[in-house]
Structure 1
Amino acid sequence: MEEEYIKLILGLKLKQIRTDKNLSLFGLSKLSGLSKSYLNEIEKGKKYPKPDKIAILAEKLDVPYDQMVSLKLDKNLAPIGEILKSKILKEIPLEIFGIKESTLIEIVANAPTKVNAFISTIIEIAQHYNFSRENFYLASVRSLQEANNNYFEDLENSVLKFAKAYQIDLNQTITSKELEEILIEEYGYTINQNELNKHESLSDLRSIFVPKKKTLLLANTIDEAQKTFIYAKELAYNYLELKDRLFTFSWIKFDNFDQVLNNFYASYFAGALILPRTTISNQLSTIFEKDRFDEKLFLKMMHTFNASPESFYQRITNILPKDFNIHNLFFLRFTHEAKSNKFHLKKELHLSHQHSPHANETNEFYCRRWASLGVLKDIENSNKTHEFAMQISHYPDDKMKYLVFSSATKDPFKDNHYRSISIGLLINKQLERKVNFLEDTSIKTLDVGVTCQRCAIKDCEARQSPPVWLNKAMENQKIETVVTELHKKFS
């Protein structure tokens, strides 16, 4: 075991033995002749005493020396030992949230039985829902986004410095050609667009970077927007000096959390470069100032940039919190196969911690009244390359309304597959101050739920399943009411 963990285990054991004997740190200090501050450092795992000091503590606490130095913990502390041995705490990116590992261990040590039960519950849930290391890392990145309102000032400034250094005009549409030139001339890249498509098993990959020879292999099926984004990400890795990185897009393998985090940083940089903040902010202001929603102007803004709808919507989630003080929003990406009744939520982000909408992993039917699903059915039944919809979604159970923008496109890598991207803005006083067209009567308002199995909306024409979970909850409520009445009657 690592030295720091050996220190922690001794500290945990000393604290447990001391508290079992009803001794304060001050009391143990008087008993052993060792200073209170020194004992405190031992218990926190910051210092490991010399053998003679351990011998003094063992004698005064009336425990065998071997028990003191043994790495074996009793049943109350055993779960903590398992956590330390597994090195799971090394997997958790505590530092990005400003949490010290020692602080977390101290919390665990203060209530080992309860925390062990909690940890065991989390592990059981994770196993039940097939919660992988990948899921955990991605959830950590989402938490980082939420903690920063999905806006990273240092990355925004890096984009401006990069544009100035390489004389890129952010007021003009950025093309793959000008970014490719920088990759080749400045960073010594070789671009190959023939090799990747020779391998059938790599059909889902858009690019592979081979670092030894700085060769970027590109799929010849990607469009101009996708190529531009890939080039922008590669520039980000180099300009930001992100050494620990992923080498495929979409990524299939990672070794540590830093690779996942740096992938996010590079993607953010790419989005900020291709979709400049000032331009989008000004155009959104124009749209928000109108009394009626101008769909043509909104779509024109979307297609102004050399970017996919997904990149455009994600970029909006960076800009709205910073420039409009609109923090209560969500982002969803769904996928759907033609002629199937399944809709898969592949990505979500919530900046407000609101209850709805959210992913559900129990094979329930997502509400068919969502704009996200509506545009997927529309594009499946049309010959269009892009479907757009906007609605006000009202969640009666949560008493919340969202202004939802949603776009659907064909999946460029899978035949008969589609994807939709949506952002929802919570309708509150702040949104009412910023968006003038909320009273536009042409915007349809729909009552929605999360899943059919939990939805109380009556006579829903789109319902795919009875509200079985809701009915069960109501039945339990009835039972609880009768039990309460019986308690009153016989008390």
Structure 2
Amino acid sequence: MAEEYIRLIFGLKIKQIRTEKDLSLFGLSKLCGLSKSYLNEIEKGKKYPKTDKIIKLAETLDVPYDSLVSLKLDKNLAPIGEILQSGILDEIPLELFGIQQSDLIDIIANAPSKVNAFISTVIEIAQHYNMSREGFYLASLRSYQEAHNNFFKDFEDKAIKFANSYQLNLDGKITSVELEEILKEEYGYTINNEGIPEEDELDNLRSVFVPSTKTLLLSNRVDEAQKTFIYAKELGYQYLEIKERPYTFSWIRYDNFEEVLHNFYASYFAGALIIPRNHLKKHLKELFVLNKFSEKAFHKVMKLYNASPESFYQRLTNILPKDFGMQNVFFLRFTHKLGVEKFNLVKELHITHQQQPHANEVNEHYCRRWMAIKTLQRTANNDLEYAFDIQISDYTDTDQQYLVFTSATKDPFRKDYYRSIGIGFLISSALEKKIGFVKDAKIPKEQVGVTCESCSIMDCEVRVAPPKRLLAKKKHKKTAALVQEIVKKYS
């Protein structure tokens, strides 16, 4: 990046000075004797002129030579320099989003002031919301998943190929014993079920992989489904020949975007292996033809697989958009500590961007009428191992309705902690044709908001904060109307 950075900074400086002097490329070309096309290449960071040409440019633009070749940027260009020098463009594989780095640099070169304003805004927002490096990486990953409707055929095919190679039955429950044998025999793993000390700081750790000895340490609190997923994920790393990866699960930190991306690849492979696509499709079709919702039938499908509720719900976000055309889907995961009023939205996915709700980073209170929170509260208050519920959420401020499924469980790794996972489908005439029980009158319907601070529902019995954002909006609207009356009176 060093040479490219030097060329780009020089080009940005030339363009900035030329623009400030109201000179066109053609005009500068006439004054300095360099061709218009050559100057264009310089400004885009594609060419770096020789010393004699830099001297000529400095004289023509009436700026010191040393200032022109210095990498120091004034305040107008400094944020661009920061993002280029940080190497963030190298860390995130832009090609995943169909963007070439050279194209992005062209955009920066062509509109530096606009890009500068955008970058400054992004930096300020990130600081305001305390967005961490990992948070930025995870947001980028989420955009990548959403851009592909969270379906990756390559990993689906590789999971099938792997299963066929090792004679794993894709019509039945794959067990941890089967996968452990492959890890040991084929990849030389040593499994240690007692290797993680019971320390408070390690309470959320499920596994640690030691690459030098191929030792996999497991928490003694993982259940059969969790163990199966961990093994399947390790097989994903090995079978996909992934080298750069996190060595802990759950992750402690990500050093670069490659680790985030590769962790996702291995997780996707694991999900495709444990919950085979064609098998799940068949049973979902049988579930969706029912005219009345059956919790028993829903859980019968879930229990076909040796997978946690979260793995099952996440797998639905792969299959439903691709194989059932349900693209208006959201997935949410909440955590909650008993006795604390806060509910943390720790994971979300929106296959298309229009769905409510999205994570809120300003400490506002999520709507307590959401099924995800009601089920979580019920689980925590009654110390349940598992709870499930379904409702139609009617978003009062958008006129959108969602069919929402939620499961909540006790967190086996942290005392007094609980978590819920939920999936919601935007109700439309198209969805009603695909899911027979959408019109089931026994499914409760609830008016909901997004956060208490922005909710217009009057006399809400579970409101935990006043609608300050809504009140501020109404005040601004009234102020604008009064100003308009004043202007009209004196016009």
- TM-score between the two structures when normalised by the length of structure 2: 0.95
1:342 aligns with 2:318: no
Query: What amino acid is the match of 1:271?
Result: G
**Equivalences for residues 60-71 of structure 1 within 5 A:** 60-71=60-71
Query: What amino acid is the match of 2:437?
Result: F
Per-residue CA shift, 1:200-234, capped at 9, x if unaligned? Answer: 64232111000011110111111000100000010
Task: Determine the structure 1 residue equivalent to 2:369.
Answer: 369
Task: Determine the structure 2 residue equivalent to 1:281.
Answer: 281
**Are residues 440 and 30 of structure 1, via their aligned partners in 2, closer, same or farther at CA, if it must alter by over 3 Å?**
same
Query: What amino acid is the match of 1:130?
Result: N
Assess if the C-alpha contact under 8 Å between 1:7 and 1:47 holds in 2. yes
Q: CA RMSD in A?
A: 2.0
Task: Determine the structure 1 residue equivalent to 2:270.
Answer: 270
What is the CA distance between 1:92 and its match in structure 2?
4.5
Task: Determine the structure 1 residue equivalent to 2:192.
Answer: 192
Task: Determine the structure 2 residue equivalent to 1:410.
Answer: 410
Task: Determine the structure 2 residue equivalent to 1:474.
Answer: 474
Q: Name the CA distance, whole Å, in 1 between partners of 2:200 and 2:398.
A: 48
SS at match of 1:304: coil
Task: Determine the structure 1 residue equivalent to 2:8.
Answer: 8
What is the CA distance between 1:378 and its match in structure 2?
1.9
Assess if the C-alpha contact under 8 Å between 1:149 and 1:321 holds in 2. yes
What is the CA distance between 1:356 and its match in structure 2?
1.8
What is the CA distance between 1:12 and its match in structure 2?
1.2
What is the CA distance between 1:148 and its match in structure 2?
0.4
Query: What amino acid is the match of 1:196?
Result: I
Q: Name the CA distance, whole Å, in 2 between partners of 1:112 and 1:291.
A: 57
**Are residues 75 and 387 of structure 1, via their aligned partners in 2, closer, same or farther at CA, if it must alter by over 3 Å?**
closer
Task: Determine the structure 1 residue equivalent to 2:315.
Answer: 315
Larger mean Cα displacement after TM superposition, 355-364 or 285-294 = 355-364
1:425 aligns with 2:448: no
Per-residue CA shift, 1:254-301, capped at 9, x if unaligned? Answer: 221100110011111101110111111111111111111121111111
What is the CA distance between 1:27 and its match in structure 2?
4.3
**Equivalences for residues 293-312 of structure 1 within 5 A:** 293-312=293-312
SS at match of 1:40: helix
**Equivalences for residues 5-404 of structure 1 within 5 A:** 5-197=5-197, 201-354=201-354, 356-382=356-382, 384-404=384-404
Task: Determine the structure 2 residue equivalent to 1:434.
Answer: 434
Larger mean Cα displacement after TM superposition, 276-285 or 361-370 = 361-370
Q: Name the CA distance, whole Å, in 2 between partners of 1:81 and 1:407.
A: 47
Q: Name the CA distance, whole Å, in 2 between partners of 1:204 and 1:74.
A: 46
Assess if the C-alpha contact under 8 Å between 1:355 and 1:398 holds in 2. no
Assess if the C-alpha contact under 8 Å between 1:77 and 1:109 holds in 2. no
**Are residues 7 and 420 of structure 1, via their aligned partners in 2, closer, same or farther at CA, if it must alter by over 3 Å?**
same
How many residue pairs align between the two structures? 491
Per-residue CA shift, 1:305-352, capped at 9, x if unaligned? Answer: 100000000000100010011100110111112233221111111112
Query: What amino acid is the match of 1:485?
Result: E
Larger mean Cα displacement after TM superposition, 231-240 or 355-364 = 355-364
Per-residue CA shift, 1:3-48, capped at 9, x if unaligned? Answer: 1111111111222333344444344445545444333222211222
Query: What amino acid is the match of 2:169?
Result: D
Query: What amino acid is the match of 2:69?
Result: V
Q: Any unmatched runs of 5+ in structure 1? A: none
Assess if the C-alpha contact under 8 Å between 1:45 and 1:102 holds in 2. no
SS at match of 2:197: helix
What is the CA distance between 1:123 and its match in structure 2?
2.0
Assess if the C-alpha contact under 8 Å between 1:336 and 1:344 holds in 2. yes
Q: Name the CA distance, whole Å, in 1 between partners of 2:78 and 2:376.
A: 51
Q: Name the CA distance, whole Å, in 1 between partners of 2:415 and 2:63.
A: 70
Assess if the C-alpha contact under 8 Å between 2:91 and 2:258 holds in 1. no
Assess if the C-alpha contact under 8 Å between 2:246 and 2:259 holds in 1. yes
Larger mean Cα displacement after TM superposition, 38-47 or 185-194 = 38-47
Query: What amino acid is the match of 2:441?
Result: T
Task: Determine the structure 1 residue equivalent to 2:487.
Answer: 487
SS at match of 1:195: coil
Larger mean Cα displacement after TM superposition, 24-33 or 64-73 = 24-33
**Are residues 451 and 59 of structure 1, via their aligned partners in 2, closer, same or farther at CA, if it must alter by over 3 Å?**
closer
Q: Name the CA distance, whole Å, in 2 between partners of 1:32 and 1:78.
A: 27
Per-residue CA shift, 1:121-163, capped at 9, x if unaligned? Answer: 3222222221110110000000001100011111111111111
What is the CA distance between 1:383 and its match in structure 2?
5.6
Larger mean Cα displacement after TM superposition, 460-469 or 271-280 = 460-469
SS at match of 2:349: strand
Q: Name the CA distance, whole Å, in 2 between partners of 1:341 and 1:70.
A: 54
Query: What amino acid is the match of 1:222?
Result: V
Q: Name the CA distance, whole Å, in 2 between partners of 1:282 and 1:244.
A: 36
**Are residues 49 and 201 of structure 1, via their aligned partners in 2, closer, same or farther at CA, if it must alter by over 3 Å?**
same
- TM-score between the two structures when normalised by the length of structure 1: 0.95
SS at match of 1:346: strand
Q: Name the CA distance, whole Å, in 1 between partners of 2:251 and 2:167.
A: 31
Per-residue CA shift, 1:450-484, capped at 9, x if unaligned? Answer: 11222111222222222222122212211111111
Query: What amino acid is the match of 2:256?
Result: N
Assess if the C-alpha contact under 8 Å between 2:245 and 2:262 holds in 1. yes
**Are residues 467 and 30 of structure 1, via their aligned partners in 2, closer, same or farther at CA, if it must alter by over 3 Å?**
closer
Assess if the C-alpha contact under 8 Å between 2:380 and 2:418 holds in 1. yes
**Are residues 24 and 116 of structure 1, via their aligned partners in 2, closer, same or farther at CA, if it must alter by over 3 Å?**
closer
**Are residues 191 and 471 of structure 1, via their aligned partners in 2, closer, same or farther at CA, if it must alter by over 3 Å?**
same
